[in-house]
Structure 1
Amino acid sequence: MLDELVRASSLLTDEFSFQRLISILVEQSLDITHSDIGALYLYAQEDAKADAVLAYKRGRHPVPDRLPRQSELIDFLIESDEAVVLLTPGESPFSDLLLTDQMRSGIALPVSTPKARIGFIILNSLQPDFYNRSRFQFLDSFVQLAGGMLHNARMFTELQEYLRHIEELKRYQESVFASMTNLLITTDDAGRIHYFNRAAADRLGVTEANIGDKLDAVFRKGLSKRVVTTLDRVKETGTSLLGLEGIYRDERGDMDFSLNVSPLKGARGRHEGLTLLFTDQTAETELKQQMEVVGEERRLIKDMFARYLSSDIVQNLVDQPELVKPGGGSKQATIFFADIRGYTSFSEGMDPEYIIQVLNEYFSEAVEIVIRHRGYIDKFIGDCIMAAWGVPMVNEEYDAVQAVSCAVEIQDLVNSTSRTFFTGKASKLRIGIGIHTGPLVAGNLGSSRRMDYTVIGDTVNVAARLEGVAGAGEVIITGETRKHLGDAFRIEERKPVKVKGKAQAIPIFNVVGKN
């Protein structure tokens, strides 16, 4: 059997595949011993209590797919690591060694090494007393050799799987690093560039030729001395540094960055270099500057309109600052002038303090009514209030109705006995109101020292002229305003009037009240 052992062993030594070694072991064992059945069963690597599972079988007779772990045969093979030979069927604790009822003798040999139990091989014969000394010696030597080869093959396979897993992790890591928008650079313990990602290549100009170059030499021009000194300190102390800000300068332009620097350590904590993670904050800085500009625009809008507009309109302007254009813009608006009748004669001989008190009491009430009707207080001209609807936000139909509603409410309040202004010596004062609707220019007018949002144009001039036409207690409107009111008010037509700047007389109406 020695020649057969040498030949069979040479087949094992030429193979590294675990599965192929299994087949060689069973095939050669069966052929050389002339057995009728050969089967190799493997132990589960993860579960010591699991059944032994059939891995390879040769022969015409069926065999079990698995053998129970608690069988006395398997217990003996594991505990003793010795072969079991059954020469005849009959009463035996190892009767399951015969894999079918037709088999008359059998042998089971453990496939193992001093460090690992792999499984066992069972050979059966239809003849009793078949496994003699020479067959046993061949099988014992061959199976021992196969056990070592199978153990090596399994370790080789596991190593290949481990390396494959490492390669997958490496590819995954490189994919993650490549997809990062942050700029990643690592160095070795000597401060030489070891790795960089695509973002660092694109923005910092690092190339494969820089691998192995000193970090401070590559970035000496782009980074400030303060940043380079800080990197040296992190390397010396081994402590991380987060949020170091600076500007990287090269031919591509300036980059505002935030830099996190961490020591790169090996498995045993040995210092192996640095990890530098740059965050490009250039776009963020520009956005911050833009936000500051927007914030300033909104502050100016609030300062400009908060005292003269309803809070919801002011908020709309803050949310949409483009509605308030620098300079001027064309609008369709309704202009309102309200003047005190009898004011000139009343103010003669009165103390200025008392006159101011009377005006402020009236203005306080009238301004609240204007704002409640979503009007814009343009200015106060002596005892006159100038207001506008349709600036800075336009709703042509709605604006005219709101302006006239405001005028009617002010007149009703002046005529009310419960009013809190125009009392005492001022009790005979009344209001005349003129309103006109048309195109005008609205915008910020003034100088760098003083800028106001106001309206100018022919529409403003006509409204001012109508205020002069209106008598005490009257609300005089033009035909242009009348077009937008529908049936909301009781209106009486008046004789057309000539106003300064107009060649033809213009139709006018007096608003008596609401319907």
Structure 2
Amino acid sequence: MGGADGELGSLIYEKILADMRDGVATIDLQGRIITFNAAAGRILGLDPQATVGQSFGEVFLMEESFDDFNEVVLKAVYENEATHSREVSVTVGGHRVDLHVTSTFLMLERDGAPERQGVIVVFSDITEQRKRRKLKRLFGEYVDPRIVERILDRGGVEDLKGARQVMTVSFADLRDFTGWSERLDPESLVSVLNRFLTAMTIPIGAAGGITDKFIGDAVMACWGPPFTEAGEQAIDACNAALGQIESLPALRRELAESGVARAEAIDVAIGIGTGEVIVGDIGAEQSRNFTVIGNAVNVAARLQEAAKRYGQRVLVAHDTRAAAGDGFVFRMVDHATLRGRSSIEPIHALVGRVGSVSDDERRLIEQHERGVMALVQGLPDTAAERFRACLEMAPGDRPAAVLLERCLAYEDESGAGGGSGVASVPGAAAAPK
């Protein structure tokens, strides 16, 4: 009976080892591998049947890629601590595999007392877990889990070491932060700012974007490979900007209910740029973070600041408008040279989605854009007529007022209304903070 029980127990043990997802190996005191289950073979790229009975040194110690793995195993042989545990990396078939390895004494009863007979090693493949941990470190708590899965499916964070690619970048900034900081005590200001930034962050994730960083009272976000499809990035960024605007009424109500004075004045200024940037895991060795740097970032920051001058909530670069397609209504508010750039280029306001813009707004847009083109062509008199017509349709229209003022300045400078609409355009957009 005892023999049958022992045989059954051995079969159960073998079945458990065979079905385990973790690798399990046992090594006797002479360094001979006495068990090596199927999972161990799969994880380390070895044939279990061929490995059992071989010397541990011949199988592992001659392979440099197993050095860290070997160290954990040998600690259990030469050190008195019962258990050693560590995360290590090995190379299997030319690919890196991350492991969590635990080694411990293999103890058996002999003459009524436990005696060390060897080492048992248990290890699991944590490659995907490590990728996810790195993603969390790089991107913080603001990445939609669906985006994390997409990055992993496309090759993981190893692709983020540094590359040039076209991306869309946005800055969303709290309007009149200086005024809020003067009116509120420090604790209330921090509370308002945190609620504002949270409200601005949610639409970014909903539109597939990455919250890159917070810069004072502004949030920077980006869209593009490997997070979103290249052809969708400008569309996603525009949808996020509109979502940020749509979140303002609820935010104002929430702040008002909390006793924040003038909560109805909470507002946002957003700038969006599209272009080539450098994408990568950037920073000091111990504090790297994913970010993007380059001209599109600068353009977005300058447009966000210029939005306040033109009285618009969202300004986008010409490249962004072109890439966003026909699902949105834009208004070309000006031609300007942004600080740090040499060329004069159109600046567009994002008015809304197609179907949400009234006929009156469309007529205003058409009249204003005719005025902008007349101004660029050096016809300030004609442009001024267009902008006056805009102000008759919408007396408080800020873009028309700004450009009409410029037309009058050109007339004063030329004395005959023949000034160039290009000459003083570089001052149209304010410098970023």
State the TM-score, normalized to the length of structure 1.
0.45
* Map of 2:263 onto structure 1: 426
Q: Secondary structure at the match of 1:226?
A: coil
Instruction: Verify the 8 A CA contact 2:172 2:200 in the aligned structure 1.
Output: no
1:133-173 superposed Cα distances (whole Å, 9 cap, x missing partner): xxxxxxxxxxxxxxxxxxxxxxxxxxxxxxxxxxxxxxxxx
1:456: how far off? 0.1
Matched residue type, 2:56: I
Aligned residue runs from structure 1 range 151-230, under 5 A: 226-227=30-31
Gaps of 5+ in 1: 1-222, 231-241, 258-281
For residues 61 and 287 of structure 2, the distance between their equivalents in structure 1, rounded to whole angstroms, comes to 42
Structure-1 residue corresponding to 2:227: 393
Higher relative contact order (CA closer than 8 Å, sequence separation 6+): 2
Q: Distance in 2 between matches of 1:373 and 1:451?
A: 25
Indicate the residue corresponding to 2:344 in structure 1.
Answer: 505
Is 1:333 the counterpart of 2:167 in the alignment? Answer: yes
Q: Structure 1 residues 245 and 318, CA, compared in 2 at 3 Å: closer, same or farther?
A: farther
Q: Residue 462 of structure 1 aligns to which amino acid in structure 2?
A: V
Equivalent residue in structure 2 for 1:490, among 313, 325, 329: 329
What residue is the counterpart of 1:217 in the other structure? none
Q: How does 1:372-383 map to 2 (within 5 A)?
A: 372-383=206-217
Aligned twin of 2:238: 404
SS of alignment partner, residue 238 of structure 2: helix
Structure 1 residue corresponding to 2:130, chosen from 281, 296, 321: 296
More helix per residue: 1 or 2? 2
Cα pair distance change 1:473/1:427, threshold 3 Å:
farther
Tell me the amino acid that sits aligned with residue 483 of structure 1.
Answer: A
Please give the alpha-carbon distance, in whole angstroms, between the structure 2 residues aligned to 1:309 and 1:251: 40
Amino acid at match of 2:350: V
1:484/1:348 CA distance change after superposition, 3 Å: same
Deviation of 1:325 after TM superposition, in Å, equals: 2.5
Deviation at 1:429, TM superposition (A): 2.4
1:450, 1:251 → 2: CA distance? 34
Equivalent of 1:345 in 179, 182, 185: 179
Compare 331-340 and 321-330 and name the one that shifted more: 321-330
Change (3 A) 1:332 1:421: farther
Letter in 2 for 1:457: G
Partner of 1:249 in structure 2? Answer: 58
**Cα deviation, residue 306, structure 1:** 5.4
SS of alignment partner, residue 265 of structure 2: coil
Q: 433, 449, 463: which is aligned to 2:286?
A: 449
Q: Residues of 2 paired with 1:246 and 1:287: CA distance?
A: 24
Structure 2: how far apart are the matches of 1:359 and 1:324? 34
Is the contact between residue 324 and residue 392 of structure 1 (CA under 8 Å) also seen in structure 2? no
Residues 333 and 399, structure 1, Cα contact 8 Å, conserved in 2: yes
Deviates more, 1:410-419 or 1:474-483: 410-419
Distance 1:378 1:320, change over 3 A: same
Q: Against the structure 1 CA distance between its residues 306 and 448, is the aligned structure 2 distance closer, same or farther, given a 3 Å change threshold? A: closer
User: 5+ unaligned residues in a row in structure 2: which ranges?
Assistant: 1-26, 35-50, 71-90, 100-124, 355-433
CA-to-aligned-CA distance 1:169-212 (integer Å, 9 cap, x gap): xxxxxxxxxxxxxxxxxxxxxxxxxxxxxxxxxxxxxxxxxxxx
* Alpha-carbon distance in structure 1 between the residues aligned to 2:251 and 2:164: 42
1: CA distance, partners of 2:280 / 2:174:
28
Contact 1:336 1:388 survives alignment (8 Å): yes
State the distance in 1 between where 2:157 and 2:335 align.
36
The answer to whether the 8 A contact 1:491-1:510 is kept is yes
**How many angstroms apart in 1 are the aligned matches of 2:283 and 2:235?**
31
Q: Flag the 1:352–1:245 CA change in 2: closer, same or farther, 3 A.
A: farther
Q: RMSD in angstroms over aligned alpha carbons?
A: 3.6
Percent identity over paired residues: 28
The structure whose Rg is larger is 1
Residue 271 of structure 2 corresponds to residue 438 of structure 1: no
How far off is 1:283 after superposition? Answer: 6.2
The alignment status of 1:305 with 2:144, answered yes or no, reads no
CA distance in 1: counterparts of 2:98 and 2:179, whole angstroms: 57
C-alpha contact 1:433 1:474 (8 A) present in aligned 2: yes
Q: Give how far 1:343 is off.
A: 1.3
Residue 317 of structure 1 corresponds to 151
TM-score (norm 2): 0.53
